[in-house]
Amino acid sequence: MAEEPSPDVFRMLPVSAAATATALASTGHAISAESARAFALADRSIPFFHAVRSARVEWNLSLSATNEGWRWLWQRRRSPKTVLEARVTLSFQPAAPEWHDERPGVEAWSRALWADLGAQGEMVVVQGLLRSLVDVYTEAERAARRAWAPFAGHESPLRSVLAGYEVSALSGRIRARLDDGGELSTSGAPRMLEIEIARAVDRPRATLAVG
């Protein structure tokens, strides 16, 4: 039975993004809270706190495959071909104190984002990556907010300078061999695709370039 290359490598990205956002929120709060306690004990002339300024998660994916037909004993075995290389970068930055309840919902943002990207992407693989990026964005945002929520009621000096973390940028770049139908193939011509999602004032902005 032949093993067909499939772009399901993106499926774990939203889960990983959510886990990272959760870890980042708890870590950021732990650092700042511990720093605040240390400051209260120490007699410093200038009050300083330690805080996580930024965090970046980068995924590098590659999918190599050989899908050869019947091969005689004296024929050389073909080496695996790289059919997909992808890099997805997710960046977090501290959210402003007025972060709570003043932004539109993440769901609405992701729908608008998908509408933009979906209209631009036609190929199956491209749509898979786009869908994954939107899921990464949604899950990371949701996880960051969910992880920071328990600390929202705490009285801490940190709250005046930091109110959580939010996704500041998300970008994806993919290089894939595609057949005529846009599916991953070991024989198609390599094509390059770049997607960048950046934070805007009211909603994310997406750009797409296919080459």
The nearest distance, CB 70 to another protein, in angstroms, is 5
Strand, coil or helix: 181: coil
Closest CA to 168 of 206, 135, 197: 197
Judged by CB, which is closer to another protein: 78, or 111? 78
* x/- letters, 150..179, toward another protein (CB under 8 A): -------x--xx------------------
Task: Candidates 15, 18, 44, 140: give the one binding another protein (CB under 8 A).
Answer: 44
Distance CA 159, CA 156 (A): 6
Q: Say if CB 208 and CB 191 are below 8 A apart.
A: no
Among 14, 15, 48, 137, binds another protein (CB under 8 A): 48
d(C-alpha 203, C-alpha 194), whole Å: 20
Nearer to another protein, 25 or 206 (CB): 25
Give the C-alpha separation, 60 to 209, whole Å: 19
Contact positions toward another protein, by CB under 8 A? 1-5, 9, 12, 16, 19-20, 22-24, 26-28, 30-31, 34-35, 38-39, 42-73, 77, 80, 157, 160-161
